[in-house]
Amino acid sequence: MTGFKGDLKDFSVAQLLNLVHLSQKSGSLFLDSEGRRIRFSFRNGRLAYARPEHEKNDLVDILRPGGRVELQRQVEIRKRLETSSELEVGLELAMEGVISRQTILECIREYSVEVLRQTFAWDEGTFEFINEDHPPQGRILLSMPLDDPITLGITHLNEQELLLKEIPTLDVELVFTDQLKGIDPQINLTGQEWQLISNINTRQTLAAIGEQTNLNEHELRRAASRLIQAGIIEIRQTADSQAAGTAEEGKAKEVKKSKFSFPLFHKSNPK
């Protein structure tokens, strides 16, 4: 089976999706980065399957968010999955009236979009597309157009460029602003932003905070940028950070040159 492979430094995930979409390809795209492996499978340019490999991601994990299935049912479903496939269990649950087929597909779609969203931040690692490679048997499959995910990916690339300009290096310290009396309870902070705030008083660099919280570079920059805009924190520059910032700005230009020069236009009405 033929296909193509390469490095995520040269092609973004959004660009790879666009290629699959425009070519109406069928097969599987494997992404590998920092010990994680994600598998996306496509049928005629539409997303059919999106799951992390070698990680627990069964039907229970997909249905749990939003309380779609109560705890007692979750235990029962997991027991069924020991002897039956995901597809068989899903059909049984729908026939028994536990949860509708439409809701099951909606949950899988939301889960798949979230898996895609996480990979948009990957700029290190490798990819491989294998033509006519089918999803694992027994899974519930989608037939999802790629228009919205591609648009989301392009938005991410644009955001990445802006964040690199605002925070060129992670070798900076963050401090609370002098006028801050306390965090306004009306500000709705994300979990990542709270993680960042809880580590500010330790006088660590943004890079060190990332190592402790397992946030990637894009997540760190995005959380810090929002907190800066809210007037909660500010960046404290050092001699080392200024030198590192100059190097990172050069790197950002290379990222822009390599990733933004690739055509990102896509069909508005996929077949």
For the segment 206-223, the average pLDDT, to the nearest whole number, is 88
| pLDDT at 7 exceeding the cut of 90 | yes
Instruction: Measure the CA angle with vertex 101, ends 99 and 106; round to 5°.
Output: 95
pLDDT at residue 165 tops 50? yes
Buried (b) or exposed (e) across 233-255, using 16+ Cβ within 10 A? beeeeeeebeebbeebeeebeeb
Residue 131 has pLDDT above 90, yes or no: yes
Q: What residue has token string 């950002």?
A: 252
Of the listed ranges 42-51, 81-90, 104-113, 116-125, the one predicted with least confidence: 116-125
Average pLDDT over residues 32-53: 95
**pTM for the full predicted model:** 0.67
Identity of the amino acid at 160: Q
pLDDT digits (tens, 9 = 90+) for 169-193: 999 999 888 766 555 656 688 888 9
Average pLDDT, the chain: 84
* C-alpha gyration radius of the chain: 21
- CA dist 33 and 212 (Å) reads 19
Q: How far is CA 40 from the centre of its chain?
A: 13
Would you say residue 137 has pLDDT above 90? yes
